[in-house]
Amino acid sequence: MHVVTRFAPSPTGSLHIGGARTALFCWLFAKHHGGKFLLRVEDTDRARSTPESIETIIDGMKWLGLDWDNKDYEGRDYYSQFDMRGRHADVARQMVAEGKAYYCYASPQELEAMRAEQKAKGLPQRYDGRWRDRPASDAPEGVPPVVRLKTPQTGETTVTDAVMGEITVQNSQLDDMVLLRADGTPTYMLAVVVDDHDMGVTHVIRGDDHMTNTFRQVQIYNAMGWDVPTFGHLPMILGPDGSKMSKRHGAQAVGEYREQGYLPEAVCNYLLRLCWTHGDDEIIPQKKAIEWFDLGSVGRSAARFDFVKLKSLNAHYIREMPDNELAKLAVPFVEKKLGKKLAPANVDLLEKAMPDLKPRASTLLDIADMSAFYFHEGAFDFDAKAQKIMTPEAGDALKELAARMEGMDDFSGSALEEIFRAYAEAKGVKLGAVAQPLRVALSGSTVSPPIFHVADLLGKTETLKRIAAAL
RNA sequence: GUCCCCUUCGUCUAGAGGCCUAGGACACCACCCUCUCACGGUGAGAACACGGGUUCGACUCCCGUAGGGGACGCCA
């Protein structure tokens, strides 16, 4: 199957998680079929479109690993809808010439009054076609008209959606939408259709908030005699409480997930599983996703976003990642936590500590929090719990054990553990009774990775230094 | 208000008329492992929105009700 998909965000903000999901699905569908995936920025709204927003969206796509095929297009890495405005206007004029569209001179105020009246009467709010059949001679002087599509008022329109199935709407429900604004710029409705057609888009995959637009857009395809692409509408992503996703629910922008230490693999896997399934499979690496993806397995109902599940998926991908790669990703987070650059030796230490850190972390932020103590300089400030562990008796024991450590040639974790175990057994106490004070001395906390291994990584000199500082 | 879509454990979902004593994952609880915290392992609890049909048989098909979402702009 010949496949061309596109992601068409409007550059009026960041790349939202819902947009990322749409982009992911478009990308997966194209990759699955060996087709093309295009990026088109819908920037016809000049007042709200910003270059910063375009950058943010592109950054987000790159971070997620969703590469598109229209790079280096006229000095840009994406299609700009605004660039095609001339073409859009030509199409609109062609439709007027062919009697498929007409000029409407109704002012915005007039239309507002019309809608208000309809609403008051409990009538459906739509353009009443007041200029649909009026002769050109009725045109008022000096009023720039908009171009409206002459939509069929009888019959019905059926769309076979690759996700939602067959959906039919009565044409009487559709009104004559604006194609070209009074200032000659195209509306979204016209621009998407023309661009999708011109770009050879075969599959329009987007959020289902566009479902009802589809019937209107089909009218434009029909008026122009163009092939209608296959549509696939994806269900909405809702906040945890079932209402529309908003700031109060948590991170919305893809960039925020990045800053919070999420891995793109986890975000993609989570987004994929949110409304698409492959039996009982939960962990779906990118390669498998491309192999398995299809539109038929996309669910039809809106899904609630579950930050906890995303986190557990992120934890999984952290555990799977090779230590060196993970350390590299974690460095900026650790440096931010520490407020200073990490020396090469410390980066090395971070990588060596990774096997201990990985199973304990859900995000890169967690890794930064848990690993900060390795790089700590000077004495720790013990919290109440730590102070409770550091009793005079514990101090005496540590002092004795430190003396034994001095003489160790093999300062490995297992050798240390042996010494501590032997000591504990001789004193008739549990290992924890001596291991916990060591943990507090070395990490400044009652919680840390396995403490003998920590000592091993810190080295004999640093370990003894920290014990001395703690006593 | 009009039109469109949706409805299985708390959440994401499996399920295409008998395979369902409704499966998996996250979360939660218990136990095991254990130097702390995790990881891991084992186990428990937890759902077919409601009401009518159709059928020998409905989570699965049809209708209705309720609830949720979306659209109704010279925004996209």
For the stretch A382-421, pLDDT in tens is 988 999 999 999 999 999 999 999 999 999 999 999 999 9
Segment A138-191, tens digit of pLDDT: 989 889 999 999 999 999 999 999 999 999 999 999 999 999 999 999 999 999
Q: Please check whether strand B approaches the CB of A230 to within 7 Å.
A: no
Q: Is strand B in 7 Å reach of the CB of A210?
A: yes
Answer yes or no: is A149 CB < 7 A from strand B: no
A281: how many CB neighbours lie within 10 A of its CB?
A: 11
What pLDDT score does A247 carry? 80
A4-80+237-304 placed in CATH 3.40.50.620: yes
Q: Closest nt to A49 (CA→C1')?
A: B76
Tokens of residue A199, six digits: 């770009």
Judge whether residue A471 has pLDDT over 80. yes
Structure tokens that stand for A73 in this block: 């297009």
The per-residue pLDDT of chain A, averaged, comes to 94
The model's pLDDT over A8-54, given as tens digits with 9 standing for 90+, comes to 999 998 999 999 999 999 999 999 999 999 999 999 888 889 999 99
CATH for A384-470, options being 1.10.8.60, 1.10.10.350, 1.10.274.10, 3.40.50.300: 1.10.10.350
Q: Which two tokens stand for residue A128?
A: 């009443």
pLDDT, residue A71, reads 84
pLDDT of residue A28: 97
Specify the residue for token string 């939202």: A16
Q: Which residues of A spanning 344-403 put their CB closer than 7 angstroms to strand B?
A: 359-360
DSSP for residue A163: T
In this structure, of A121-125, A214-218, A223-227, A402-406, the range with the lowest mean pLDDT score is A121-125
Axis-axis angle for helices A392-406, A460-470 (nearest 10): 160
Element (H, E) at A170: strand A165-170
Sketch the domain layout of chain A as residue ranges: 4-80+237-304, 83-234, 322-369, 384-470
The interface predicted TM-score of the complex, written ipTM, equals 0.94
Residue A75 confidence (pLDDT): 78
The reply to whether the CB atom of residue A282 sits less than 7 A from any atom in nucleic acid chain B is yes
Nucleotides of chain B within 7 Å of a protein C-beta?
1-8, 10-15, 23-27, 35-39, 68-76
Quick one: CA dihedral A451, A452, A456, A459, positive or negative? positive
Q: Decide: helix, strand or coil at residue A293.
A: coil
Strand B close residues, chain A 30-89, CB < 7 angstroms: 42, 44-45, 48, 81
Closest by CA position to A232, among listed A135, A329, A161, A147: A161
Closest nucleotide to A172 by C1' from CA: B3
**The dihedral formed by the CA atoms of A160, A164, A168 and A169, expressed in degrees to the nearest 10:** -130
Q: What is the mean pLDDT of residues A186-213?
A: 95
- Mean pLDDT value of segment A303-315: 95
C-beta atoms surrounding A303 within 10 Å = 18
Nearest CA to A449 among A368, A362, A371? A371
For a pLDDT cut of 90, what percent of chain A falls above it? 88
Cα A451 to Cα A440: distance, rounded to the nearest angstrom: 9
What angle is formed at CA A132 by the lines to CA A129 and CA A137, rounded to 5 degrees?
130
A181 C-beta neighbours (distance < 10 Å), count: 16
Question: Which tens digit of pLDDT belongs to each residue from A237-281?
Answer: 999 888 888 788 878 899 999 999 999 999 999 999 999 999 999
Find the Å distance, CA of residue A1 to C1' of nucleotide B59.
Answer: 35
**Which one-letter amino acid corresponds to residue A357?**
L
CA–C1' gap, A151 and B22, in angstroms: 48
Tokens coding A391: 């009793």
**CA A193 to C1' B1, whole Å:** 30
Among chain A residues 425-444, those with CB within 7 Å of any atom of strand B:
430-432, 435-436, 439
In the block, tokens 């790349």 appear at A15
Does the domain formed by A83-234 have CATH 2.102.10.10?
no
User: Can you tell me whether residue A37 is helix, strand or coil?
Assistant: strand
Query: What are the tens digits of pLDDT across the range A72-91?
Result: 777 789 999 999 999 999 99
Three-state DSSP class for residue A210: helix
Q: What is the pLDDT of residue A45?
A: 86
Identical fold, A83-234 and A384-470: no
What does pTM read for this prediction? 0.94
